[in-house]
Chain A
């Protein structure tokens, strides 16, 4: 992630430590020390970090920060206002448990809280995705017709603290400088006409005009979110990946659950079972049409997840007309790994076959 930040020619990064994110902002600090970033500091806590990102965005610079689990929730008050404030920043989310009893172990339930703030959200499967998505995130967030934050999530420890080969662009090429003029709202730098005296002042009068202003603005934010889809096609080849589209049963996952689905798909191929695989890369905008198309002939779709509530499963159920075919789980959380055998058991059950589950 830090390597992508380097190539993204970031102006300013604001850091706050939390396991398992700490290493990202530490490495971003090293990049700052090497002169690739113009400003970097350790903020007071996550709300201060996220608020400072919102402040710096008004001055028209390219911004990055990252957090994890409870840190994300602590910063959420500021983060949920970023989209409405048209903050074009990239947020790294290195996921971690938030529920009590507290643990530093990985799961991705915090993403459920992020899904409704208007930000574009990408979910990386592995180290390669983390690099690619982060770099793409900067390009997407700054598009004039998007201009809302992009969050790149990946699983803490399972991805952040594991090694993997990454194909990177040469480190002597980087994104062009941030252009504060190419924006749907001008920076508040008192330089750029036309004047914008207030940026996103509250709409608190109790009258129809204030209701209307809020509603129009929110619709525009979610439209901006939708408009990011064409750039997800451009930079990531689309919001989903599909294998074996003619299959009867599908395994569908995002993040590192997608890696386990991929493995289960491979086992199933070896056994000659009619199983397909869908990886969801974009959580927001959610690829409703693409998933519908991919699952249009499916008899069952198994959605393994790294959280207790099954937010992805709920999204898929809501997206397809025949939601009854969705198999909820298997789900693991609180640091548990997701054995491929658990997915294989569900595949066999969906196909009406016996499976001797041995873990």
Chain B
């Protein structure tokens, strides 16, 4: 049924906005990663068109990448909170729920459990996408407890190491010493150890990365979603620089992300044995499907 929810009756098509009809006819829904994944990201304006974020915002790029990586956008619901990120997330053609400050993981707990009541036979992917403030500060208790309870959904933290949307205040994820609004003498405390906290709280798959490699980033996002479906909470901690508050010229955004990859955002992937079994199985299935398709074409 799921794809049908966006499909209008043929005779109404001519009255609908062109964008909507194009979404139905040519959009990424129901397509494979090869057809609609990050490799073909540019083709699918439905993923996110003309985002309203600052020019060169690395967060806007990563959000687009998240949408391009979804295993089943037609079965996915995203949840977010206040912050720059939600401006872009709410413009993508995947359902988005905007809650209160930092409560995305609590809302996702209710949503995921309710989906399992109503659709026990289906995977309805639930993903929270929020900034470092929403995930680790305001929403800290709700984030941690969703992990401790073993809720089966994916948490993605867009870590720009600052409250970008409210004008650049320090967050728990800002690095020690950073001079920011509300940290006029430099931040006193350390950057919070997010992935370590996630593992201690029971996340079965965690990744920290600076998303400089599109394919690699897409792969870990998908892994996180597949594992959450079956095993338990998963967490993706991504560096998504705020070029405004950290004064990174637009043309240097990628170089900065590369630089961070060597320091605070060194690639780190953790998985439990159970999570690994799911990843191995799903990726083997995907490979087999690819091979079969190739054979068909030949």
List of A residues within 8 angstroms of B124 by Cβ:
189-190
- A39 touching B97 by the CB < 8 A rule? no
Contacts of B98 in A (CB 8 A): 198-202
B7-28 to A contact mask, C-beta < 8 Å, 1/0: 1100000000000000000000
Known contacts A78-B103, A188-B95, A201-B96; A12 and B114 CB within 8 A of each other: yes
The answer on a CB contact under 8 Å between A55 and B111 is yes
Residue B107 contacts which of A54, A60, A192 (CB distance < 8 angstroms)?
Answer: A54
Q: Which of A54, A193, A202 makes the CB contact (< 8 A) with B5?
A: A193
B97 pairs with A55, CB closer than 8 A = yes
Interface centre among B4, B6, B79, B109 (most CB of A within 10 A): B109
With A55-B97, A55-B111, A199-B95 already in contact, the answer to whether A61 and B118 are too (CB < 8 A) is yes
Interface residue? B90 (CB, 8 A): yes
B257 at the interface (CB under 8 A from A): no
Check B179 for interface membership: any CB of A closer than 8 A.
Answer: no
Docked complex: A68-98 residues within 8 A CB-CB of B = 77-78, 81
Query: Closest Cβ of chain B: how far from A5's Cβ, in Å?
Result: 16
- A-contacting residues, B135-183, CB 8 Å: 141-142, 144-145, 149
| CB-contact partner of B109 in A43, A47, A58, A191, under 8 A | A43
**Nearest CB to that of A190 among chain B residues?**
B2
A1-41 at interface with B (beta carbon < 8 Å): 11-12, 14, 38-39, 41
Complex CA gap A200/B1 in Å reads 24
Known contacts A51-B100, A51-B107, A55-B79; A197/B145 CB under 8 A: no
Instruction: Give residues of chain A (177-213) contacting chain B, Cβ–Cβ below 8 Å.
Output: 180, 188-202
Per a CB cutoff under 8 Å, which of B6, B82, B99 touches A51? B99
In whole angstroms, how far apart are the Cα atoms of A123 and B77 in the complex?
37
Could you tell me which residues of chain B, from 14 to 60, have a CB within 8 Å of some CB in chain A? none
- Provided the pairs A44-B145, A45-B141, A81-B100 are in contact, do residues A189 and B106 lie with their beta carbons within 8 angstroms? no
Asked if B109 contacts A52 (CB within 8 A), the reply is yes
Q: Which of A77, A197, A202 has the most CB of B within 10 A?
A: A197
A59 adjacent to chain B (CB < 8 Å): yes
Q: Which of B5, B6, B86, B149 has the most CB of A within 10 A?
A: B5
Q: How close is A265's CB to chain B, nearest CB, in angstroms?
A: 44
Number of A-B contacts (CB under 8 A): 142
A245 in the interface, Cβ–Cβ < 8 Å?
Answer: no
Q: Is the CB of B99 within 8 A of A59?
A: no
Q: Which residues of A contact B114 (CB under 8 A)?
A: 11-12, 39, 55-61
Q: How far is the CA of A217 from the CA of B106 in the complex (A)?
A: 25
Look across to chain B and name the residue whose beta carbon is closest to the beta carbon of A14. B110
Q: Cβ of A53 < 8 Å from any Cβ of B?
A: yes
Residues in A whose Cβ lies below 8 Å from that of B6: 193, 195
Q: How far is the CA of A77 from the CA of B99 in the complex (A)?
A: 10
Bound complex: CA A189 to CA B5 (Å): 9
Residues of B within 8 A of A38 (CB): 117
How far is B149's CA from A41's CA once the two chains are assembled, in angstroms? 9
Interface size on A, residues (CB 8 A): 42
Task: Report yes or no: B113 in contact with A41, Cβ–Cβ below 8 A.
Answer: yes
A-B contact pairs, 12 of them (CB 8 A): A12-B117, A47-B103, A51-B99, A51-B106, A51-B110, A52-B110, A55-B106, A55-B109, A188-B97, A189-B118, A194-B8, A199-B95
- Looking at the complex, which one of A43, A77, A191 makes contact with B100 (CB distance below 8 Å)? A77
**Cβ-based interface call for A48 (8 A):** yes
Which residues of chain A have C-beta atoms less than 8 A from B144's C-beta?
A: 44
By the criterion CB–CB under 8 Å, are B117 and A190 in contact? Answer: no
Cα distance, A55 to B115, chains bound together (Å):
10
A44 to B119, CA, bound (A): 25
A195 and B90 contacting across the interface, CB-CB below 8 Å: no
Q: What is the CA–CA distance of A145 and B107 in the complex, to the nearest angstrom?
A: 25
Assuming A55-B97, A56-B110, A193-B4, what are 8 further A-B pairs, CB within 8 angstroms?
A: A12-B110, A39-B117, A47-B142, A51-B103, A55-B109, A59-B115, A190-B74, A202-B82
Could you say which residues of chain A place their CB within 8 Å of the CB of B111? Answer: 55-56, 58-59, 188
In the complex, chain A residues whose CB is within 8 Å of the CB of B82: 202
Set of chain B residues within 8 Å of A60, measured between Cβ atoms: 114, 118
The minimal Cβ–Cβ distance linking B206 to chain A, given in whole angstroms, is 20
Q: In whole angstroms, how far apart are the Cα atoms of A56 and B112 in the complex?
A: 7
Contact partners of B109 in chain A: CB under 8 A: 43, 48, 52, 55
Chain A residue numbers with a CB within 8 Å of B101 are: 77
- Whether B5 lies near A48 (C-beta < 8 A) is no
Q: How far is the CA of A312 from the CA of B118 in the complex (A)?
A: 41
User: B110 and A55: CB pair below 8 A?
Assistant: yes
Of the candidates B76, B95, B117, the one whose C-beta lies within 8 Å of that of A61 is B117
B93 at interface, CB cutoff 8 A: yes
User: Which among B7, B106, B141 is the interface contact of A52 at CB below 8 angstroms?
Assistant: B106
Decide if B113 touches A58 in the complex (CB within 8 Å). no
In Å, the complex CA distance between A196 and B96 comes to: 9
